[in-house]
Amino acid sequence: MKRLFTLILFFAIQFSWAQQAVEKDSFNMPGIVEKLFDTADRMVDRFSGKSWIFIPALTYSPETSLGIGARAIKVFKPKEDINGRPSTIPITLLYTLNEQVIFTSALDLWMNGNADHLYARLELSDYPFKFYGIGDDPGAKSEEDYASRSVQVQFGYQKRLASALYLGPQYKFTAGDIYRKEVGGLLDSGRLLGSNGQRTSGIGLVVNFDTRDNIFQPGRGSFHQASFMSFQSFLGSEFTFSQYQLDLRKYKTIYDRQVLAVQAWFSVTTGNAPFQQLSLLGGSDLMRGYFEGRYRDRNAMVYQAEYRVPVYRKLGLVFFGSAGQVAAKLSTFSFNRLRYGGGLGFRYQLTEDGLNLRLDLAYGNQRAFYFGLNEVL
């Protein structure tokens, strides 16, 4: 309860600051500040073409350390869908100080007046990482270093059935080996599913209810998604398991472009899943301030909230908090065992559609900061 009170107090203080920041926006900023913003705009324009934005990728997160590479993203609308939602093609090549090499490319395509939505993603990685064991409290001594090479392919298609309701199939394939383990560790013992690598192949269904007014920076509306994936041997999967996920999000403009975004996320894994595919917490999307996979088990739930405040021109502030936990059984979830995190972030708008550059400073079980594109919620 003390943690919850602290988190509520934190948001109350930040809300007060946010209001003051917006009020200051109505005054003329000093000339030197104007020049700084003009310089930033020119830098963005210099790396941007008519259809592509090119960004030297300088990233950081606890999982990767400092990463250097290149990032390109195309934001576009088909000529026949000029009033539709923007589609994107992001491409990233990254090398990190943790000796990780990551290549990702994706397609998020809206067609036919938003009646059809196609999504595809490819990821290739050589990824030294950390494994902390299974469960809500595996203990610090369970930390192990390992390294894997993997490929992941994912795609899905949704058809609009009603004004905001979408339904369609999805497919996911992952293959990878683990080429380095700690001698004498749990992964080295071979007792853990996935410790000798994984090959999973699964199909499923996804249902979306989507009334967002903007897919990059929603000011109002909802995004609710329920998905089911089944990984079976007849599809080429080495492991037989199923995964159910529920993602509930709500956006509301509180005052003068100040937006409150809230999320409830649940994941349930059944069957014989490799440890890489278990439900987990942490990383840049689910509970910033916790190492990705620091806690993993069959089931997970996360609650997150963000308060977004425009500051000046293309600059914005975000205050966020989160709570979550993992559990072996649904019956063992308890609000007394929730873990908490929070922090603040800075946003800089890259495109007229609302695509943001973001820097988040977070505190959970560690201090961390994250640098990337687009909003978390």
Sign of CA dihedral 24, 27, 31, 34: positive
The 10s digit of each residue's pLDDT in 98-117 is 888 999 999 999 999 899 99
The proportion of the chain whose per-residue pLDDT surpasses 70, expressed as a percent, equals 84
Q: How far apart are the first and last CA of the chain?
A: 25
Structure tokens at 81: 């869908």
Cα dihedral 132, 135, 140, 142 in deg (nearest 10) = -50
Please choose, from the candidates 105, 106, 43, 112, the residue with its C-alpha nearest in 3D space to the C-alpha of residue 80.
112
Q: What is the pLDDT of residue 370?
A: 84
Quick one: how far is CA 53 from the chain centroid? 21
The 10s digit of each residue's pLDDT in 246-281 is 999 999 999 888 999 999 999 999 999 999 999 999
Average pLDDT of the chain to the nearest whole number: 85
The 10s digit of each residue's pLDDT in 83-98 is 788 899 999 898 888 8
Rounded to whole angstroms, how far apart are CA atoms 11 and 5? 10
Do the Cβ atoms of 118 and 89 come closer than 8 Å?
Answer: no
| Opening angle at CA 159, ends 169 and 203, nearest 5 | 5
What confidence tier does 136 reach under pLDDT thresholds 50, 70, 90? Answer: confident
Give one DSSP letter per residue of 275-316, joined into a string: GGGSEEEBTTTBSTTS-TTSEEESEEEEEEEEEEEEEETTEE
Q: Where do the structural domains in the chain lie, given as residue ranges?
A: 2-373
Evaluate if residue 81 carries a pLDDT over 80: no
Q: Point out which residues pair with 172 in neighbouring strands.
A: 154, 202
Q: What is the pLDDT of residue 16?
A: 44
- Structure-model confidence comparison of residues 181 and 37, the more confident one: 181
- Structure-model confidence comparison of residues 5 and 220, the more confident one: 220
The 10s digit of each residue's pLDDT in 137-163 is 765 557 899 999 999 999 999 999 998
Q: What is the pLDDT of residue 55?
A: 73
The 10s digit of each residue's pLDDT in 344-367 is 999 998 888 888 888 899 998 888
Mean pLDDT of 177-203: 92
Do the Cβ atoms of 201 and 236 come closer than 8 Å?
Answer: yes
What confidence tier does 72 reach under pLDDT thresholds 50, 70, 90? Answer: confident
Q: Does domain 2-373 have CATH number 2.40.160.50?
A: yes
Contacts of 90 (CB under 8 A, 6+ apart): 71, 72, 73, 74, 104, 105, 106, 373
The 10s digit of each residue's pLDDT in 290-343 is 988 889 999 999 999 999 999 988 899 999 999 999 999 988 888 888 999 999
The Cβ of residue 70 has, within 10 Å, a number of other Cβ atoms equal to 12
Contacts of 34 (CB under 8 A, 6+ apart): none
Sign of CA dihedral 277, 241, 323, 254: positive
Evaluate if residue 20 carries a pLDDT over 70: no
Q: How far is CA 367 from CA 68, 337, 343, in A?
A: 21, 20, 9
